[in-house]
């Protein structure tokens, strides 16, 4: 599913004293089956525009040939929302058990399968939760477990696009690496399109195909996975440690490649020490 933001603008509280332009003439192309990172402020407006909870003030969002403008009529919004899964970590669970929670999500999105319980267990396992969680109260989980359950809920109805809002926040290094591998698997094996909305460049490093930065509503940076060594990027966001280390070594006069893989960087250091 290709998604295009074409001259997209959105003004919050238009006409009031609290008026604010969150998006200002944004042009972005998200290719089918890619992982794209978008960084900046007020990024949840992107999720709302993709699911037509909000509409553009100007310009348009084009989703798989469907044009969403300020006043266009959408015949089947529910079908569109079924195709785009939004992982909102602020979401509160309403069921008494995890099994009921995922089952209700599947029902809401009209996802049908012969063996519901097996499908729920499979959805849990893929995010790192075991079958033992089925009868647990979702509201008694840890913050990290709740995040995993949120992702399991989204995966349960098999959307074509997965949107992650600040997903990596609070995850330990090992969990981050696990989910980076999972997202790559969802992209490469299952052809999912994944949009990561976050200011966490460390999580997006060596993961995203394209990176966009929005500052004061304007698109100020547009790069690929090799652009993490571009100094312009760090006028707006915190530098990943691997980039910081590499730039420091280079500044001391040592020749070192700009690696995007930490394991390859370690090998390079080892070779130089030898």
For residue 49, what are its two tokens? 């525009």
For residue 55, what are its two tokens? 């509409």
Quick check: is 258 in a domain? yes
pLDDT of residue 76: 85
| Residues paired with 38 in a beta bridge | 197, 212
Examine the pLDDT at 251 and tell me if it is beyond 60: yes
Express each pLDDT in 164-223 by its tens digit: 998 988 888 888 888 999 999 999 999 999 999 999 999 999 899 999 999 999 999 999
Q: Which of 68, 69, 58 is nearest to 10 (CA)?
A: 58
pLDDT of residue 270: 67
Quick check: is 246 in a domain? yes
Nearby residues of 132 by Cβ (< 8 Å), 6 or more positions away: none
DSSP class per residue in 88-101: ETT----SSSHHHH
Q: Is 182 left (phi over 0), alpha (psi -120 to 50) or beta?
A: alpha
Express each pLDDT in 43-83 by its tens digit: 999 999 999 999 999 999 999 999 999 988 888 888 999 99
pLDDT of residue 1: 85
Quick check: is 268 in a domain? yes
> pLDDT averaged over the chain?
91
Say if residues 164 and 195 touch (Cβ distance below 8 Å): yes
Quick check: is 229 in a domain? no
For residue 262, what are its two tokens? 């930490």
In angstroms, the first-to-last Cα distance of the chain is 48
Cα 245 to Cα 172, 254, 269, distances in angstroms: 20, 12, 11
Quick check: is 272 in a domain? yes
Quick check: is 259 in a domain? yes
Quick check: is 136 in a domain? no
Domain total in the chain: 1
Express each pLDDT in 222-241 by its tens digit: 999 889 999 999 999 998 88
Residue ranges making up the domain that contains 264: 240-274
For residue 154, what are its two tokens? 């989204």
Quick check: is 98 in a domain? no
pTM: 0.90
């Amino acid at each position: 599913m290709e998604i295009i933001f074409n001259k997209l603008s959105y003004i919050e509280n238009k006409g009031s004293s609290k008026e604010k332009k969150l998006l200002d003439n944004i042009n972005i192309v998200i290719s089918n089956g890619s992982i794209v990172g978008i960084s900046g402020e007020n990024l949840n407006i992107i999720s709302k525009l993709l699911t037509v909870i909000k509409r553009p003030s100007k310009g348009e969002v084009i989703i798989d040939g469907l044009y969403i403008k300020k006043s266009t009529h959408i015949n089947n919004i529910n079908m569109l929302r079924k195709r785009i899964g939004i992982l909102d970590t602020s979401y509160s669970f309403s069921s008494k058990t995890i099994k009921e929670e995922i089952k209700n999500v599947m029902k809401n999105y009209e996802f049908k399968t012969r063996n519901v319980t097996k499908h729920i267990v499979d959805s849990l396992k893929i995010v790192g939760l075991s079958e033992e969680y089925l009868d647990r109260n979702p509201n008694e989980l840890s913050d990290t477990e709740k995040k995993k359950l949120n992702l399991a809920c989204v995966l349960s109805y098999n959307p074509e696009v997965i949107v992650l809002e600040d997903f990596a926040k609070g995850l330990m290094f090992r969990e981050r690496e696990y989910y980076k591998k999972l997202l790559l698997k969802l992209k490469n094996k299952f052809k999912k399109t994944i949009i990561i909305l976050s200011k966490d460049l460390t999580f997006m490093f060596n993961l995203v195909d394209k990176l966009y930065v929005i500052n004061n509503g304007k698109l100020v940076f547009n790069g690929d996975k090799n652009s993490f060594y571009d100094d312009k990027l760090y006028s707006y966001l915190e530098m990943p440690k691997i980039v910081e280390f590499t730039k420091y070594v280079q500044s001391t006069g040592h020749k070192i490649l700009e690696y995007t893989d930490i394991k390859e960087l370690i090998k390079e250091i080892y070779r130089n020490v030898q």
